[in-house]
Amino acid sequence: MKRIITATVLNKSGVLNRVTGVMSRRRFNIESISVGQTENVNISRITFVVVVDMIDDIEQLTKQLNKQIDVLKVNDITDESVIARELALVKLSTNKTTRSEIYSLIEPFRASVIDVSKDSLVVQVTGTNTKVEALIDLLRPFGIKEIARTGVTAFTRSVKIEEKPTAFIS
Amino acid sequence: MHIQKVNEISGAQILIESIKAESVELIFGYPGGAVLPIYDVLYDANIRHILTRHEQGAIHAAEGYARISGRPGVVIATSGPGATNLITGLANAMMDSTPLVVFTGQVGTATIGTDAFQEADIIGLTMPVTKHNYQVRDARDIPRIVKEAFHIATTGRPGPVVIDLPRDIVQTKTKKNEEKVLYLPGYQPTYEPNQGQIEKLINAIKRSKKPVILSGGGVLISRAAKELTNFADKYKIPVVTTLLGLGTFPASHDLFLGMGGMHGTFAANSAMFECDLLISIGARFDDRLTCNTNSFAKNAVIVHIDIDPAEIGKIIKTDIPIVGDAKRALNSLLNANFEYECNKDWLDNLMSKKSNYPLWYTEEDNLLRPQRVVETIHKYSDENTIVASDVGQNQMFAAQFYKHDFPHKWVSSGGLGTMGFGLPSAIGAQFADPEATVIAILGDGGFQMTIQELGVIQEYGLPLKIFILNNNALGMVRQWQESFYNKRYSNSLLESQPNFSKVAEAYGIHSMTINNSNNVEAEIQLALAYKGPIVVDCRVTQYEKVLPMVPPGRGINEMEGIANEADNYSNSIK
Ligand SMILES: Cc1ncc(C[n+]2csc(CCOP(=O)(O)OP(=O)(O)O)c2C)c(N)n1
For every residue of A103-130, DSSP letters joined together read HHHHGGGT-EEEEE-SSEEEEEEEE-HH
Whole-Å CA distances, B17 to A100, A124, B28, B174: 72, 57, 17, 14
Q: In this complex, do A21 and B187 lie within 8 Å of one another by their Cβ atoms?
A: no
- Please report, for chain A, the start and end positions of each structural domain, with discontinuous segments joined by +: 2-79, 83-155
Q: In this complex, do A70 and B186 lie within 8 Å of one another by their Cβ atoms?
A: yes
Computed over every residue of chain A, the mean pLDDT equals: 91
> Measured from the CA of B417, which atom of ligand 1 is nearest?
25
pLDDT-derived band at A158 (thresholds 50, 70, 90) equals confident
Task: Say how far apart CA B20 and CA A137 lie, in whole Å.
Answer: 65
Q: Place domain A83-155 in its CATH homologous superfamily.
A: ACT-like. Chain A, domain 2 (3.30.70.1150)
What's the angle, vertex CA B122, arms to CA B121 and CA B123, rounded to 5?
95
> Measured from the CA of B479, which atom of ligand 1 is nearest?
19
pLDDT-derived band at B3 (thresholds 50, 70, 90) equals low
Please name which of B260, B292, B517, B545 lies closest in space to residue B399, comparing C-alpha atoms: B260
Whole-Å CA distances, B206 to B188, B201, B210, B238, B350: 33, 9, 11, 15, 19
Asked if the model's pLDDT at residue B572 lies above 50, the reply is no
Q: Which phi and psi angles does B90 have, rounded to 5°?
A: -65, -45
B393 CB near ligand 1 (under 6 Å): yes
What average pLDDT does range B149-165 have in this prediction? 98
* Contact criterion met (CB below 8 Å) for B527 and B504: no
Q: Could you tell me the domains of chain B?
A: 8-175 (3.40.50.970), 195-356 (3.40.50.1220), 370-546 (3.40.50.970)
Q: Which amino acid belongs to residue B160?
A: P
Q: In this complex, do A21 and B131 lie within 8 Å of one another by their Cβ atoms?
A: no
pLDDT of residue A168: 38
Residue B211: CB partners within 8 Å, gap ≥ 6? B205, B237, B238, B275, B276, B277, B278, B279, B342, B346
- In terms of Cβ atoms closer than 10 Å to its own Cβ (0-12, 13-18, 19+), residue A134 is middle
Q: What is the dihedral of CA B73, B77, B81, B87, to 10 degrees?
A: 10
C-alpha B304 chain-centroid distance: 21
Burial letters for B537-564: b for 16+ Cβ neighbours within 10 Å, e otherwise?
A: bbbbbbbbbbbbbbbeeebbbebebbbe
Residues of chain B with C-beta less than 8 angstroms from the C-beta of A64: 310
pLDDT-derived band at B123 (thresholds 50, 70, 90) equals very high
* Contact criterion met (CB below 8 Å) for A148 and A92: no
pLDDT-derived band at B127 (thresholds 50, 70, 90) equals very high
Interval between CA B446 and ligand 1 midpoint (Å): 6
What average pLDDT does range B120-131 have in this prediction? 98
Q: Are strands B385-389 and B410-411 parallel, antiparallel or unpaired?
A: parallel
Residues of chain B with C-beta less than 8 angstroms from the C-beta of A69: 131-132, 152, 184, 186-187
pLDDT per residue as tens digits for the range A119-131: 999 999 999 999 9
B544 CB near ligand 1 (under 6 Å): no
Task: Say how far apart CA A129 and CA A132 lie, in whole Å.
Answer: 5
Task: Say how far apart CA B334 and CA B344 lie, in whole Å.
Answer: 21
Q: Does B189 touch chain A (CB under 8 A)?
A: no
Q: What is the ipTM of this complex?
A: 0.92
Higher model confidence: residue B56 or residue B365?
A: B56
Best residue in A58, A61, A63 for a mutation probing chain B (most B CBs within 10 Å):
A63
pLDDT-derived band at B4 (thresholds 50, 70, 90) equals low
Q: Where are the alpha helices (DSSP H) in B357-421?
A: 370-379, 393-401
Please name which of A36, A28, A25 lies closest in space to residue A3, comparing C-alpha atoms: A28
Q: Are strands B437-443 and B465-470 parallel, antiparallel or unpaired?
A: parallel
pLDDT of residue B177: 76
Interval between CA B264 and ligand 1 midpoint (Å): 19
Q: Does B124 touch chain A (CB under 8 A)?
A: yes
Helix H or strand E segment including B418: none
| Side-chain half-sphere CA neighbours of B542 within 13 A | 11
Burial letters for B156-168: b for 16+ Cβ neighbours within 10 Å, e otherwise?
A: bbbbbbbbbbbbb
CATH top class, domain A2-79: alpha beta
Q: Are strands B277-281 and B301-306 parallel, antiparallel or unpaired?
A: parallel
What average pLDDT does range A29-50 have in this prediction? 94
Asked if the model's pLDDT at residue A162 lies above 70, the reply is no
Task: Say how far apart CA B225 and CA B247 lie, in whole Å.
Answer: 8
What average pLDDT does range A34-53 have in this prediction? 95
Asked if the model's pLDDT at residue A25 lies above 60, the reply is yes
* Contact criterion met (CB below 8 Å) for B294 and B555: yes
Residue B405: CB partners within 8 Å, gap ≥ 6? B247, B250, B251, B252, B383
Task: Say how far apart CA B74 and CA B20 lie, in whole Å.
Answer: 11
* Contact criterion met (CB below 8 Å) for B398 and B422: no
SS3 B474: coil
pLDDT-derived band at A165 (thresholds 50, 70, 90) equals very low
pLDDT-derived band at A96 (thresholds 50, 70, 90) equals confident
Q: Which amino acid belongs to residue B363?
A: E
Least confident of B229-238, B325-334, B502-511, B556-565: B556-565
* Contact criterion met (CB below 8 Å) for B277 and B210: yes
Q: Does A54 touch chain B (CB under 8 A)?
A: no
Least confident of B39-43, B172-176, B386-390, B498-502: B172-176
Helix H or strand E segment including B531: none
Q: In this complex, do B128 and A21 lie within 8 Å of one another by their Cβ atoms?
A: yes
Percent helix / strand / coil, chain A, rounded to 5: 30, 40, 30
Q: Which phi and psi angles does A86 have, rounded to 5°?
A: -145, 155
What's the angle, vertex CA B77, arms to CA B73 and CA B79, rounded to 5?
145
Q: Do domains A2-79 and A83-155 have the same CATH topology?
A: yes
Task: Say how far apart CA B420 and CA B127 lie, in whole Å.
Answer: 23
- The sheet carrying B239-241 orders its strands as B256-259, B239-241, B211-215, B277-281, B301-306, B320-323
Task: Say how far apart CA B414 and CA B287 lie, in whole Å.
Answer: 11
pLDDT of residue A170: 34
Residues of chain A with C-beta less than 8 angstroms from the C-beta of B127: 14, 17-18, 21
Chain A neighbours among B 145-174 (CB < 8 Å)? 152
Both ends of chain B: CA-CA distance in Å?
80
pLDDT-derived band at B524 (thresholds 50, 70, 90) equals very high
Probe target for ligand 1 pocket from B368, B394, B419, B489, with the most ligand atoms within 8 Å of CB: B419
The residue contributing the CA closest to ligand 1 atom 20 is B475
Residue B227: CB partners within 8 Å, gap ≥ 6? B326, B327, B330, B331, B334
Residues found in chain A: 170
Asked if the model's pLDDT at residue B420 lies above 90, the reply is yes
Asked if the model's pLDDT at residue B220 lies above 70, the reply is yes
Residues found in chain B: 574
pLDDT per residue as tens digits for the range B76-120: 999 999 999 999 999 999 999 999 999 999 999 999 999 999 999
pLDDT of residue B180: 77
Q: Taking every pair of C-alpha atoms in chain A, what is the biggest distance, in angstroms?
A: 57
Please name which of B406, B420, B414, B468 lies closest in space to residue B440, comparing C-alpha atoms: B468
Asked if the model's pLDDT at residue B571 lies above 80, the reply is no
Of A56, A64, A72, the CB nearest to B185: A72
Q: Which amino acid belongs to residue A100?
A: S
pLDDT per residue as tens digits for the range A74-93: 999 999 999 999 999 999 99
Helix H or strand E segment including B202: helix B195-207
Please name which of B381, B355, B390, B556 lies closest in space to residue B468, comparing C-alpha atoms: B390
Computed over every residue of chain B, the mean pLDDT equals: 96
Q: Report cis status (omega within 30 of 0) of the bond before A141.
A: no
Interval between CA B417 and ligand 1 midpoint (Å): 8
pLDDT-derived band at B443 (thresholds 50, 70, 90) equals very high
Asked if the model's pLDDT at residue A166 lies above 50, the reply is no
Task: Say how far apart CA B415 and CA B419 lie, in whole Å.
Answer: 12
Task: Say how far apart CA B92 and CA B87 lie, in whole Å.
Answer: 8
How far apart are the CA of B158 and the nearest CA of chain A, in angstroms? 12
Strand partners, B102: B75, B162
What's the angle, vertex CA B87, arms to CA B82 and CA B92, rounded to 5?
140
